[in-house]
Amino acid sequence: MRHGKKFNHLGRTRSHRKAMLSNMACSLIQHKRINTTVAKAKALRVFVEPLITKSKNDSTHSRRVVFSYLNNKYIVSELFRDVAPAVASRPGGYTRIIKTGNRMGDNAEMCMIELVDFNEIYGSEKKDTKKKARSRRGSGKATASVETAAEEVKSDASEGNESKEGAKD
């Protein structure tokens, strides 16, 4: 019986699951973002976040512990050199899962898992403290473009009238 056992086995043996999560963690650290299924991403989050926490303390022991999980010395050095300084001030939650829809072949729920501090889209924006005025008649951009278009039409019409007056004289 499996009373109280909440670990997702992902349909694999222990050795296969361990190797798969290690490879996925290496890919995530190397590329900062990978596409996978939601179930694998949730399992990967549980696997990789403690390793990132261990990488904040750059000691020989923590490097050996992380290496025992990842089995790739280049990825371990990248984790300690690049990722750890970027997440040093963050107390946890180093990864983000963004659902991207279902896969065509088997309708599996797909997602993108990424390291939070390495996202250019979310990280580069500065929060705007001002609230934007909301209008029922459309956004400010649309009304501004309509106003400029109306001004152009008026100026074209006035130029056309001037040319007709010049022709009459």
Specify the pLDDT at position 9.
Answer: 93
Instruction: Please report which confidence band the pLDDT of residue 125 belongs to, taking 50, 70 and 90 as the band edges.
Output: low
Residue 14 burial (CB < 10 Å; 0-12/13-18/19+)?
exposed
Dump pLDDT digits (tens) for 8-48. 899 999 999 999 999 999 999 999 999 999 999 999 999 99
Q: Return phi, psi of residue 62, to 5°.
A: -65, -35
pLDDT above 70 coverage of the chain, percent: 73
**pLDDT tens-place string over residues 73-94:** 999 999 999 999 999 999 999 9
Higher pLDDT, 122 or 167: 122
What residue type is 50 in one-letter code? P
- Residue 74 corresponds to which tokens in the numbers above? 């280049």
d(CA 89, CA 107): 39
Output the pLDDT for position 19: 97
Domains, the chain: 14-124 (3.90.1030.10), 128-169 (no CATH)
Tokens matching residue 113: 């898992």
Cα(22)–Cα(27) distance, integer angstroms: 9
HEC assignment per residue over the chain: CCCCCCCCCCCCCHHHHHHHHHHHHHHHHHHCEEEEEHHHHHHHHHHHHHHHHHHCCCCHHHHHHHHHHHCCHHHHHHHHHHHHHHCCCCCCCCEEEEEEEECCCCCCEEEEEEEHHHCHHHHHCCCCCCCCCCCCCCCHHHHHHHHHHHHHHHHHHHHHHHHHHHHHC
